[in-house]
Amino acid sequence: MYAIVDIAGQQFKVRQGQQLFVHRLKAEEGSQVSFDKVFLIGKDETIKVGTPVVEGAKVEAKVVEHLKGKKVIVFKKKRRKGFQKSNGHRQYLSKLVIENIIE
């Protein structure tokens, strides 16, 4: 069984027991969160598509930890002008474990 769900403004295809990294959520580590913007549920050969969401469906997950992603280097340069600029960025992430998909 799988579902396509909206988490923090992004759509993810999730299965039960899957680990997932999403943008930082405003929830404590170890707490339960549920997402009710479920766009599609697939089970065996049947598929339920919402218009735009599936009524009564939700995905329950547990926040395992909050962390930072890998460093991304942003380097800008204009040739023959002597302009160079280097910048780095690390995204704040939350690690989720999908516990249950309710139809």
pLDDT level of residue 103 (50, 70, 90 thresholds): confident
Distances (CA, A) of 7 to 2, 20, 44, 80: 15, 10, 24, 45
Best CA proximity match to 6, nearest among 39, 49, 43, 50: 39
Q: What are the pLDDT digits (tens) for 38-59?
A: 999 999 899 999 999 999 999 9
Q: Whole-prediction pTM value?
A: 0.83
Q: How many other C-beta atoms lie within 10 A of the C-beta of residue 90?
A: 11
d(CA 73, CA 50): 40
